[in-house]
Amino acid sequence: MRPSYAIAIHGGAGTIIKSAMTDEKEAAYTLVLMQAISIAERILKKSGNAIDAVEQAVIILEDSELFNAGRGAVFTHDGTHELDASIMDGRDRKAGAVTGVKRVKNPISLCRAIMEKGAHVFLMAEGAESFARDHGVEIVDPSYFSTDFRKAQLLSIRDSGKTQLDHTVEDSKKFGTVGAVALDMHGNLAAATSTGGITNKRYGRIGDTPVIGAGTYAENGVCAVSSTGYGEYYLRSVAAYEVAALMKYGGYDLEGATKKVIHEMIPKMGGDGGLIAVDGLGNISTPFNTEGMYRGRIKAGEAALIEIYR
């Protein structure tokens, strides 16, 4: 019997080592992850839609400066923020995505507006912000996204010519994407993903997060997926859709499909990271091939589980 609802969230994967984490910081991460999964569960318990649940969960993570999405996003080489996000509804495979926005408080809400009110799927930069203004999506001053921690990250490598994935300790890396996937009581699936990109990025680089099929995918009866990792590899492998394709055409179950992508396909190409996924039966899979991944899950009738380390 299909469970009445299920949800999983993530806050990025990478070199996340317990010995390098203070008790206070671990508690702070755990609290925000629990807030995100709790608001989604409240929606689903009241027979709400999966698309509402994933949007609200990601908003909580975007609003926390602990994660590289929304407030607390990393800086580009030019000292700005360029935010990417996408959302997909498994009922009809409608989707909305944005890249390079600098003034939208919650990019995931702009994606939702594009999906439901726009004629297109994917908008960029100033055009996306114009759409946001026209449709009542909250605009903020770019300084809203800045934090001293992220500024120090940029200054440490700005003149090196290197880019850097969001990190937690020196000489380590963390893929600072956030995301959520959900199954609701009506059997609908949805996925949402949001990121600030990589520190010191140049030339308008875009990763997998806003690309439907790479960073985000949802299809009723199959699965919903949100990816976190080195975006170039997820783009080249169309990672989120690959999970669905393995299930639809390859005879894999959710766990088998997600593990094949994360533990075989991505590493074979030279990349790493993780993903979260839920299928139409409420099964949840959260594989990663790094030291850790900020993550949480809950099903109807079960207690929430929040985890960070391997």
168-199 per-position pLDDT tens digit:
344 345 567 999 999 999 999 999 999 998 87
Q: What is the DSSP letter of 172?
A: -
User: How many Å apart are CA 2 and CA 23, to the nearest integer?
Assistant: 38
- CA distance readout (Å), 150 to 68, 76, 156: 9, 10, 10
Domain 6-309 in CATH 3.40.1450.10: no
Tens-of-pLDDT digits for all 310 residues of the chain?
556 899 999 999 987 888 888 999 999 999 999 999 999 999 999 999 999 999 999 999 999 999 999 998 988 888 889 999 999 999 999 999 999 999 999 999 999 999 999 999 999 999 999 999 999 999 999 999 988 777 676 566 555 555 545 533 443 455 679 999 999 999 999 999 999 988 778 889 999 999 999 999 999 999 999 999 999 999 999 999 999 999 999 999 999 999 999 999 999 999 999 999 999 999 999 999 999 999 999 999 999 999 999 8
List the catalytic residue out of 177, 195, 209, 228.
177
Residue-wise pLDDT for 54-63, tens only, equals: 999 999 999 9
In the chain, % of residues over pLDDT 70: 91
Q: What is the CA angle 203-192-222, rounded to 5?
A: 120
**What are the angstrom distances between the C-alpha of 282 and each of 45, 142, 163, 255, 288?**
14, 39, 38, 12, 20
pLDDT of residue 19: 84
What residue type is 194 in one-letter code? S
Tell me the two tokens of residue 157.
């490598």
Query: Taking a C-beta distance cutoff of 8 angstroms, is the pair 234, 273 a contact?
Result: yes
Give whole-number Cα distances, 31 to 23, 26, 148, 295, in Å: 12, 9, 22, 12
Q: Is the dihedral of CA 167, 32, 21, 17 positive or negative?
A: negative
Q: What is the pLDDT of residue 284?
A: 98
216 is catalytic: no
- Note whether 269 and 237 are within 8 A (CB): yes
The DSSP secondary-structure symbol of 48 reads: -
| pLDDT attached to residue 44 | 98
Residue with tokens 């949001």: 194
- Position 14 scores a pLDDT of 85
Instruction: State residue 150's pLDDT score.
Output: 78
